[in-house]
Amino acid sequence: MPKTTRAPMARKIPHSTTNHGIALNDPYHWLRADNWQEVMVKPEVLPADIRTYLEAENGYFAEEFDRKNEALQENIYREIRGRIKEDESGIPSPDGDFSYYSKMETGQQYPLLIRTDRHGNNATCIMDCNVEAGEGYFGFAGATHDPSHKFLAWGCDRNGSEYYTMRVRNIASGEDLPDTLEKSAGGAVWSADSSSIYYVELDENHRPFRVRQHILGTEQSRDNIVYEEADAGYFVNIGKTLNGNFIIISTGDHLTSEVHLLDAHKGGALQLISQRKTGHEYSVEERHGELFILTNKDGAEDFKIATTSLKTPDIENWQDLIPHQAGTLILSTIVLENYLIRLEKSQGLPRIVMRDLGDNSESNIAFDEEAYSLGVSVGYEFDTSTIRFTYSSPTTPSQVFDYDLTSGERVLLKEQIIPSGHSSQDYVTRRIMAKASDGAEVPVTLLYHKDTSLDGSAPCLLYGYGAYGISMPANFSITNLSLVDRGFVYAIAHIRGGKDKGYDWYKKGRAEHKVNTFTDFIAVAEHLTKQKIVAQDKIVAMGGSAGGLLMGAITNMRPDLFAGIVAIVPFVDVLTTMLDDSLPLTPPEWPEWGNPITSKEAYERIASYSPYDNVEAKDYPSMLVLAGLTDPRVTYWEPAKWVAKLREMKTDANPLYLKTNMEAGHGGASGRFDRLKEVALTQAFAIKIVGAPTLPNDRT
């Protein structure tokens, strides 16, 4: 018998709190570092006892799984990497006399930022992120050139905490100015005269709470406060109208928004568009003194587009331009000199609709596949008749097109190349429906190899998220093919909590309806087995962040239904987190989950499904749990506490692994190849758990 390393068992220290007369006992509360804010910035100050436990779990995982499956992980990693064209260039986007794009070079982890003249000549590297990264973690916040094309504002995070440091580079010299802006949320907006940048500052609890103006050549301490949000439940963002006339300051939570405009040329006072009202969401663009407003006003839950004069922005002056159409969700809008572009979703599939603002005629771009993903952009310029869109499906690699709004001509600019080879005809994409417990039809996207028999024998990787109204795109993924080539059916459950079927689909998966997210996912798993699409005992479920909450909930509710669970930075200690208003995301997320501090009903509802609080003495599936020490979104102690309690309570001998990245946060490793190693790890776990068929390389 091979020697088995003993799993770590965390000590228990009594800890109890009382809310609404209800006691909450939490013996693993000690894993939450009292100095967590400092740990986000300086991971080395993590208390020794907590570090010892996390490292013991890492050691156990390394001994029991990582080292025993190195060859399989390496094979998968090389397969995925072989599908990447490593020397990959983006498509130049023109802006005045110049064009900008990014490119990747063979063997490099991070992009180079390139500038050419408008016609693509005289290419110059204006930033090499590989040089800036050095060794260790490098979270790039992106870079924004100024209107004069002399400067580049850029930011990075060195430990995964998402506290970004912003710098300004002189493009001609390649040197950074002395200006250094700490504790930024990342990203910046330039004033029209290029003399200053506007940025969002994070508070001590990692909340984006105010906008400041930094005048080049001055100290950050002198930066003018442009806007400060007093409500901890509202996060602040900045942007700019495409025509460059206004800086957009938006604040809001998951259900409510408020927008101010600031003249990018003159500065001055902020102009409020519409005062916040609970449940009213809106966003703004401007053209020739007219505002175009994407809004859910007057019960337009799938949104509509209204217009009003910049001089009379009050909500009572808004006039409908694109009326609300139930079941057709408007996702985003782009306002150009002569056109209004909207990306919308109907019957679960996206489409692009173009409106000529001269004669108000409309047209759209049609696609044929059962399931696909679509994105649209216009680059930097306002006065253009060209839009750019990206199309892919689970079987079709990404394609980038330019579309001429005047002629209707569609030009293929770039098609994703798979160096190791890919034939779309070898794979099958399907969209099916599974009936939920209350009769709702839940869309499911399937991807499988044409040679995979759907006779009830195939293993399955079932992915889900189901929160914040985020829809899961049916796009092409170079990583999923490694599982599909080994006989897996890869399935996406488009469950309630996302907006896959419109805004109502989101409403029915949040707050008092949250349990629908979990029962939808369970219904999809049951449907796949009843229809003999996959094997009943070979489903591995995967989800991350709020999708990790899904993983925890279904594991408690139906542990018998899943062979394995992969929970990536899982939000599993929901009740305690929503009771802790000092944590970065807690106040803004009360509309999503409910506020258990003020509402006994919300407390009891969250307590009924919070994964950590519902662990029981019973058999659980095999589980792999991944965490990040400096994660500000799902703090490391949530997965750590969950695993500790599972180790104490579970009655089975199935594997349970916790791997904490001690040098990264919510997004895991920062380099493109390092990320692939994490993907290879999760896939190797799924393959080993279900005993999937091996490829020749796996048997070496």
| Residues assigned a catalytic role | 545, 631, 666
- Displacement of CA 584 from its chain's centroid (Å): 17
- State the DSSP H helix or E strand holding residue 400, giving kind and residue range, or none if neither: strand 399-404
Q: In one letter, which amino acid is 518? A: F
CB 191 within 8 A of CB 267: yes
Q: How many CA atoms lie within 13 A of 389 on its CB side?
A: 27
CB 640 within 8 A of CB 53: yes
Tokens encoding 647 = 């180790």
C-alpha gyration radius of the chain: 25
Q: Are strands 622-628 and 656-661 parallel, antiparallel or unpaired?
A: parallel
Name the region of 288 (left: φ>0; alpha: ψ -120 to 50; beta: rest): left
Q: How far apart are CA 86 and CA 46, in angstroms?
A: 37
Tokens encoding 372 = 């696909």
Tokens encoding 405 = 């709004």
Give ∠ CA 286-147-378 in degrees, rounded to 5.
50
Q: Could you tell me how many helices (H) and strands (E) the chain has, helices first?
A: 13, 38
Q: What is the DSSP letter of 231?
A: -
- State the DSSP H helix or E strand holding residue 676, giving kind and residue range, or none if neither: helix 672-690
252 beta partners: 235, 257
The three-class DSSP label of residue 637 is helix
Q: How far apart are CA 394 and CA 417, in angstroms?
A: 15
Give phi and psi for 9, each to the nearest 5: -125, 115
By CB neighbour count within 10 A (0-12 exposed, 13-18 middle, 19+ buried), where does 522 fall? Answer: buried
Q: How far apart are CA 640 and CA 52, in angstroms?
A: 12
89 beta partners: 103
Counting other chains too, the contacts that 92-98 makes at CB distance below 8 Å and 24 or more residues apart are: 92/116, 92/120, 93/379, 93/380, 93/388, 94/118, 94/379, 94/380, 94/381, 95/145, 95/149, 95/379, 95/380, 95/381, 96/149, 97/149, 98/149
Q: How many CA atoms lie within 13 A of 495 on its CB side?
A: 35
- Displacement of CA 308 from its chain's centroid (Å): 33
Q: What is the DSSP letter of 64?
A: I
Return the closest-CA partner of residue 553 out of 567, 539, 540: 567
Exposure string of 194-205, with b = 16+ CB inside 10 Å and e = fewer, is: eebbbbbbbeeb
Exposure string of 102-123, with b = 16+ CB inside 10 Å and e = fewer, is: bebeeebbbbbbbbbeeeeeeb
How many other β-carbons are positioned within 10 Å of the β-carbon of residue 356?
A: 14
Q: How far apart are CA 289 and CA 311, in angstroms?
A: 8
